[in-house]
Structure formats: structure tokens, C-alpha cells
Structure 1
Amino acid sequence: MAHLILASSSPRRRELLSQLGLSFDIYSPNIDESVKLGEEVSAYVERLACAKAEAVLAQFPDAIVIAADTSLGVDGQILGKPKSKAHAFAMWQMISNRKHDVFSGVCVRTKQQISSIVVRTQVEFQNLTLKDMEDYWATVEPLGKAGGYAIQGIAARYIPSIHGSYSNVVGLPLHETVQLLTAFKALN
């Protein structure tokens, strides 16, 4: 099998990809993650995933590179990782007592091929009280997570339903990633 590299420092992506029984290395690229003016969340996550794959392929030109990026979309806004407690609370107020979309862009790339996909999952949050937000912030789990929450962790208590891929919300839609890797003949 070809040399696989996951272009991510995310422990969640590493765990998810490991569930597939694949052997891979990790290399986390440093790219500009600024949102372009008027950019929609689906275009944003796909662009970042492809930029990460390109940056890692430049370092390892004979590899098959898997890259992903995940963000939330609410009312046309992109919600990334919280920059502060106030930022996390503002995001939680936006998703409280309603549904929002989680988008992941996945890109698989070699010297000869590039393929990408965007996966959307709808997540419903219960009404969050100020106490809920204070308690959740105190766990430190929200740090470094798109939308300021981890569905696979404590935040699951606030989520009555999802529609779509659970692994997408965690950070790497496994079914779609397998489909991309199969097309690259990276799986047996």
C-alpha cells in the first residue's frame, strides 16, 4: 500500500482514521485559515482541506495525502474554534435551542490526482443556560474545537439529535473518506 499521510494534528482525526485499520503518518501543515470575503462554509472547508493536502504533498511528493477541515455554519456565518471564553459563549448562544450545520471538507491528493468532497451534518442543540455554558467552559473541552464543542465528549449531553454522519461532526467523515481512498486505490 502507498505511503499515507494525514495532514492534521487533530487527535480526533487520528483516532477516526485509525478506526479504518490504516497505517499512516501525521504531518500538520501551517496554512492561512483566513475566511475570504463572502466565502460560504462549504467552500471554505473544501479550500482549506485542499490547501493542507497541497502543503503536505510539497514535503512528501510520493505520498497519498489525506486532509480535512471542519467548521460550523449558522445563518451564513462560519463558526470555527473559539478564540476566547466570550467568543465560545457567543457561538453557543447562536446554536442554542436550534439546529446548525457541520461541514467537513476532505481532500485526498497525490502527484497525479486530487479529489475532494464536502460532507454536511445537521446537529440540534438544546437550549443552553448560562450555567450550562459556564460549566462546559470549565471542562476545557471546548478549546480547539470547531463551534466550541466536542460531540464525542461532554457536549453530547446537550445534543438531542443529529441528521447525517456522526464522524463528520467529530472531524472526519469516514464513509466518504473511504470512498475517496478507494478511488485512489489506497485501500485493499
Structure 2
Amino acid sequence: MANLILASSSPRRRELLQQLGLDFQINSPNIDESIYLNESVEHYVERLACSKADAIFEEFPNAIIIAADTSVAVDHHILGKPESKQHAFEMWHLISGRRHDVLSGVCVRTKHKKLSIVVRTEVEFQELTPQEMDDYWNTGEPLGKAGGYAIQGIAARFIPNIMGSYTNVVGLPLHETVQLLQTVKVLN
């Protein structure tokens, strides 16, 4: 098998890709993740995934690169990672007691092909009390997480329902990633 590189420092993406039984290396690119003016969430996650793949491909042109970017969106607005406790509370007020979308862009890049896809999952979040928000913040789990929560962690208790891919919400939609890898002949 060709050299496979995951263009991400995310431990969650690493763990998800390991579930496929693939041998891969990790090389995390440093790219600008700024949101363009009037950029849709779909375009944003796909653009970042492809930019990450391109950055690593420049260093390793004979490798097969897998890159992804995941964002939480509510009312077509991208919720990033919380910069502070206040920022986390603002995000949780937006998603509390309602549904929101989690979108991931995935890009697979080889010497001969560059394929990408956007996957959307709808997540229902229960109404959070100020005490629940405070308690959750104090766990430390929200730091570094899009939307300020981790479905695979403590926040699972706040999520009664999802419609779509669970692994997408964690950070790498495995079914769609496998389809891309099959297209470039990495998997059968």
C-alpha cells in the first residue's frame, strides 16, 4: 500500500481512522482557517479540508493524503472552538433546546486525483441550564472542540437524537471516507 498520511493532529480523527485498520502517518498542516466573507459552511469545511491536503501533498507528493475539517453550524453561522468560558456559553445558548448541523469536509489527494465531499449530520441538543453549562465547562472537555462539545464524551448526555453519521460529529465520517479511499484504490 502507498504511504498514507492523515493531515490532522486531532486524536479523534486518528482513532476513527485506526478503526479502518489502516497503517498511516500523521502530519498536521499549518493553514489559515479564517472564514471568508459570506462563505457558506459547506464551502468552508470543504475548502479547509482541501487546503490541508494540498499543504501536506506539497511535502509528500507520492503519498495519499486524507484531510478533514469539521464545523458546527446553527442558522448558517459557523460556531468555532470556544475561546473562553463566555464564548462557550454563547455557543451553548445558540444550540440549547434545538437542532444544529455538524458538517465535515473530507479530501483525499493523490498524485492523480483530488476528491472531496461534505457530510452533514443534524444534532438535537437538550435545553441546558446555566448550572449544566458551568459544570460542563469545568470538565475541560469543551476546549478545542467545534461548537464547544464532544459527542463522544460527557456531552453525549445532552444529545437525545442525531440524524446522520455519528462519526461525522466526532470528526471524520468513516463511511464517506472509505468511499473516497475506494475510488483512489486504497481500499477494496
TM-score bin (small chain): over 0.9
What stretches of structure 1 of length at least 5 have no aligned partner? none
1:148 aligns with 2:148: yes
- Residue 42 of structure 1 aligns to a residue in which SS? helix
State TM-score, norm by structure 1. 0.99
- Residue 97 of structure 1 aligns to a residue in which SS? coil
What stretches of structure 2 of length at least 5 have no aligned partner? none
Aligned to 2:132: 132
- Residue 118 of structure 1 aligns to a residue in which SS? strand
Aligned to 1:89: 89
- Kindly state the Cα deviation for residue 111 of structure 1 after the two structures are TM-superposed: 2.0
Aligned to 2:99: 99
The aligned runs of 1:35-184 (5 Å cut-off) are: 35-184=35-184
Distance 1:43 1:179 in 2: 20
Aligned length: 188
| Range that drifts further, 3-12 or 76-85 | 76-85
After the TM superposition, list the runs of 4 or more consecutive aligned residues in structure 1 that deviate by more than 2 angstroms.
none
- Kindly state the Cα deviation for residue 80 of structure 1 after the two structures are TM-superposed: 1.3
State TM-score, norm by structure 2. 0.99
Distance 1:79 1:151 in 2: 15
Which AA in structure 2 matches 1:165? S
Distance 2:131 2:100 in 1: 22
Give the fraction of aligned pairs with identical amino acids, expressed as a percent.
73
Which AA in structure 2 matches 1:84? S
In angstroms, what is the RMSD of aligned CA positions?
0.5
